Amino acid sequence: MPRQRIDLVPLYSRLVAILSRVFPDIGMDLSTMLHKDFRYLVLKKDQIKIETKLKITRFIAELVNFAIFPKSEAFNCLKMLLRNFVHHQVEMACAFVETCGRFLYRSSDSHRRMKIYLVCMYMVYSINLKATESFKTAILSGI
């Protein structure tokens, strides 16, 4: 799939969900490969390939919606993004929550954990916002 075609991700994930009923290995193998790619891109910390990062994040989130990617692994991915909540990790976390956050929040077995991660995400965001504002005021006062 081309890295710029993020609009195809829901279609491919639906196809995988349909095929995994007949061939369960497809879903497990794809989940493993996506998780490895996700970990590699997050731990590498380069500031390029944002389309690839968002595509993999959305693909994982769509597979969570179809119960192909395990919820526990999805929460581990979100936790990895929240550890270093800057630059592309912010966009990836937002894409993740946008795609499967409602599903995780509404599911009875993952509601509590998702609520905690949303609160944590908001706290990290507000801390970063305050730090950015204080940095800007320090620069402007020096001018």
Instruction: Tell me which residue range forms the domain holding 114.
Output: 6-142
Read off the pLDDT of residues 14-47 as tens digits, 9 standing for 90 and up: 999 999 999 989 999 999 999 999 999 998 877 7
Please enumerate in sequence order all residues whose Cβ is within 8 A of that of 12, keeping only pairs 6 or more positions apart, or say none: 1, 59
> Percent of the chain at pLDDT above 90?
54
Asked if residue 1 belongs to a domain, the reply is: no
d(CA 12, CA 62): 9
pLDDT value for 128: 72
- Does a structural domain hold residue 115? yes
pLDDT of the residue at 71: 93
**Residue 64: inside a domain:** yes
Question: What's the whole-number mean pLDDT along residues 95-112?
Answer: 92
Flag whether pLDDT at 82 surpasses 60: yes
What is the distance between the terminal CA atoms of the chain, rounded to a whole angstrom? 49
Q: Does residue 17 sit in helix, strand or coil? A: helix
Average pLDDT over residues 82-110: 89
Residues 57 and 38 sit within 8 Å (Cβ to Cβ) = yes
CATH of the domain at 40: 1.25.40.180
Distance CA 4, CA 33 (A): 19
Which residues are CB-neighbours of 71 under 8 A, at least 6 positions away?
Answer: 64, 104, 107, 109, 110
pLDDT range class, residue 129, cuts 50, 70, 90: confident
Indicate whether 61 pLDDT > 70.
yes
For residue 69, being part of any structural domain is answered with yes
Domain count, the chain: 1
Average model confidence (pLDDT) across the chain: 86
